[in-house]
């Protein structure tokens, strides 16, 4: 059983998160297309994109050389794979440790932190602005997202993903319900989706820091982004909506919950325009953070 667990923890993070991420990336584009009354891309589109990107060489490498150019995408992917390992491990194998939800939170934030640090002082104005916006957004949505996870931890009694999953549907309690709504907005910013895609604003700052990457490095970042698409809803479902139960019906219900959270992300993305950086900061610092803090107080009081 231990060997199976270890194999599961090695295989799941990469292949399953990758496969689910690529599927959700297609679903995102398909749902977006249907909202626009378009047909949308075929199911194999993300696979074709990934193969194409891996088969292309980067146009030119500036600032720091080849090693640093590939290091950031590789590290980003590694951190997200480890986050996937913890999340899938907690969901399927009940592998856990005290405070693993905090570890997952930090690992999911790692790609944004790396991009901000690496490109903060880039000579390319668009890249530098993108990195600064990423850092600013990170400082804005990070604290409320962490607090919402702590709300669930306080309600479940322990900040551990398995314990929260076993505690059942936490959103039945008022503080967790509000924390869940706050965490959806924070996850939207974490994934860089509209209305919080200010760090990559294509038509404004030409994809920001991502604009310097092409070929295989971009393929790694593309895969990282797809995996994040798979893990953000998984984190919210595991923490707030309960884990996998026993029996086919329970598993089906879990899948429906997972896809429903993801479709909510896509709907928010498609019904909101991109907001200004200062609006995003105000929204999180003066709106979401106080609400999340209040819910944490209520949860600690046992309400």
Between CA 192 and CA 185 the distance in angstroms is 11
Q: What is the DSSP string of 198-252?
A: TTT-HHHHTTGGGGG--HHHHHHHHHHHHHHHHHHHHHHIIIII----SSHHHHH
* Footprint on residues 16-35 left by another protein (CB under 8 A): 29, 33
- Please report, for residues 21, 56, 240, the alpha-carbon distance to residue 258 in angstroms, rounded to integers and kept in the order given: 12, 34, 11
Regarding 128 and contact with another protein (CB under 8 A), the answer is no
Query: Which position among 203, 248, 249, 302 is part of the footprint of another protein (CB under 8 A)?
Result: 203
Between CA 123 and CA 129 the distance in angstroms is 10
> With CB under 8 A as the contact rule, which of the stretches 89-97, 156-164, 211-219, 251-259 interacts with another protein?
211-219
Question: DSSP label at 158?
Answer: S
Query: Which position among 212, 224, 238, 289 is part of the footprint of another protein (CB under 8 A)?
Result: 212
Least distance in angstroms from the C-beta of 61 to another protein: 11
Regarding 256 and contact with another protein (CB under 8 A), the answer is no
Least distance in angstroms from the C-beta of 34 to another protein: 10
Nearest partner of 280 among 298, 228, 165, 272, judged by Cα: 272
Q: Is 197 helix (H, G, I), strand (E, B) or coil?
A: coil
Regarding 59 and contact with another protein (CB under 8 A), the answer is yes
Please say which residue, 51 or 251, places its beta carbon nearer to another protein.
51
Regarding 38 and contact with another protein (CB under 8 A), the answer is yes
Angle between helices 125-156 and 174-190 in degrees, nearest 10: 160
Between CA 262 and CA 232 the distance in angstroms is 9
Please say which residue, 34 or 282, places its beta carbon nearer to another protein.
34
Cα distance from N-terminal residue to C-terminal residue, the chain:
40
Query: Which position among 20, 218, 226, 261 is part of the footprint of another protein (CB under 8 A)?
Result: 218
Residues touching another protein, count (CB under 8 A): 36
* Footprint on residues 158-187 left by another protein (CB under 8 A): none
Residues at the interface with another protein (CB under 8 A): 29, 33, 36-42, 44-45, 48-52, 54-60, 200-203, 206-207, 210-215, 218
């Amino acid at each position: 059983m231990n060997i199976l667990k270890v194999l599961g923890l090695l295989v799941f993070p990469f292949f399953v998160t990758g496969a689910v991420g690529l599927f959700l990336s297609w679903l995102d584009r398909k749902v977006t297309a249907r909202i626009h009354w378009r047909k949308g891309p075929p199911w194999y589109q993300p696979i074709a994109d990934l193969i194409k990107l891996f088969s292309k060489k980067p146009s030119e490498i500036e600032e720091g050389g080849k090693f640093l150019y590939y290091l950031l995408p590789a590290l980003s992917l590694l951190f997200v794979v480890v986050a996937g390992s913890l999340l899938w491990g907690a969901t399927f194998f009940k592998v856990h440790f005290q405070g693993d939800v905090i570890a997952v939170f930090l690992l999911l934030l790692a790609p944004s932190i790396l991009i901000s640090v690496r490109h903060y002082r880039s000579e390319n104005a668009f890249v530098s602005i993108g990195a600064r916006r990423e850092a600013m957004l990170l400082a804005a949505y990070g604290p409320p997202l962490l607090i919402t996870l702590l709300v669930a931890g306080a309600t479940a009694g322990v900040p551990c993903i398995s314990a929260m999953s076993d505690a059942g549907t936490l959103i039945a309690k008022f503080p967790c319900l509000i924390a869940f709504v706050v965490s959806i907005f924070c996850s939207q910013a974490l994934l860089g989706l509209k209305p919080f895609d200010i760090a990559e604003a294509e038509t404004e700052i030409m994809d920001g820091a991502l604009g310097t990457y092409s070929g295989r490095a971009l393929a790694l970042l593309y895969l990282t982004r797809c995996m994040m698409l798979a893990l953000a809803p998984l984190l919210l479902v595991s923490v707030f909506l309960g884990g996998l139960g026993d029996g086919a019906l329970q598993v089906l219900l879990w899948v429906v919950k997972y896809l429903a959270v993801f479709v909510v992300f896509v709907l928010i993305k498609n019904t909101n325009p991109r907001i200004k950086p200062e609006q995003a900061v105000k929204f999180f610092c003066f709106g979401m953070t106080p609400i999340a803090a209040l819910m944490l107080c209520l949860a600690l009081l046992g309400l």
